[in-house]
Amino acid sequence: MTDWTSQTARAKEWFESLRTRICNEFEAIEREAGSDAAFEFRPWQREEEGNTDPGGGVQGLMKGKVFEKVGVNVSTVKGSFAPEFAATINGASAESPGFTATGISLVAHMANPHVPAVHMNTRFLTTQAAWFGGGADLNPPLPYDEDTADFHAAFRAACALHNPTYYDRFKKWADDYFYIPHRGVHRGVGGIFYDHMECADPQAFGRNFQFTRDVGEAFLGIFPKLVRRRMDTEWSEADKRQQLEWRGRYAEFNLVYDRGTLFGLKTGGNVDAILMSLPPEATWS
């Protein structure tokens, strides 16, 4: 079995550096809006019986004038899956339930209904296999074609650096994944989603790690631009009602269907960090 310790450390370092730059940019937007809001960082330690090094992470949370609630979390954990859950994970089994996982997870809920909410996550996992996964998707209560086009263009360009088939494949994966079957609607205007980008050897790790870094850079390059474009737009009470109803749909998806939520809860993660994706306020009609 390959020892992926050094690769996990490299991925962790990247996720932490990306978090720092994202948080700095989001705080800069708050300053532009006349707010002194800043991220509060809360370290947490995972617990697992018999495991002397289960890992943990840092939850970053900010509530401001532009970002009503935004969480940017990085975690690095190590341990064993429960037997029944191991059977659902790539490369794991009841006989070989060990895993490591490191990643960054971000969800932003915006104060102005005209500013799109967003989700971004990238991660590196090892079991008997090793792989990268992640993506980003835009979730506007009041969609603008220009914003949707620019968001997709950023990720199309990142994909094109690596493989001409990536964007179409990963866009479709996002469209299929970020769908609420019981409502018959998508939860937003999509993006890209990829998983099980396997690293059979160090060369494959290098290629897939670079792609994952480019996904992070694409997010950092485009989302702040969309926020600045819309954050001063006037909004009505009808706009706010639509935002709150849409947030209810977002909560339904994350609690019923989201694999990342399930993974965090099944591996003894920090509950507050896992559920930071839920909106600060929502309605159901």
- Residues catalogued as catalytic: 119
Burial letters for 64-81: b for 16+ Cβ neighbours within 10 Å, e otherwise?
A: bbbbbbbbbbbbbbbbbb
Q: Which single residue is written with the structure tokens 């790690």?
A: 209
d(CA 195, CA 205): 14
Tell me the HSE value of 45 on the side-chain side, using a 13 A CA sphere: 6
Helix (H) / strand (E) element for 217: namely: helix 202-230
What residue type is 234 in one-letter code?
E
What residue type is 114 in one-letter code?
H
Question: Computed over its alpha carbons, how large is the radius of gyration of the chain?
Answer: 19
User: What one-character DSSP code corresponds to residue 244?
Assistant: H
Comparing CA positions, the residue from 102, 43, 58 lying closest to residue 78 is 102
d(CA 220, CA 233): 22
Burial letters for 213-222: b for 16+ Cβ neighbours within 10 Å, e otherwise?
A: bbbbebbeeb
Dihedral (Cα; 91, 96, 100, 104), 10-degree rounding: 40
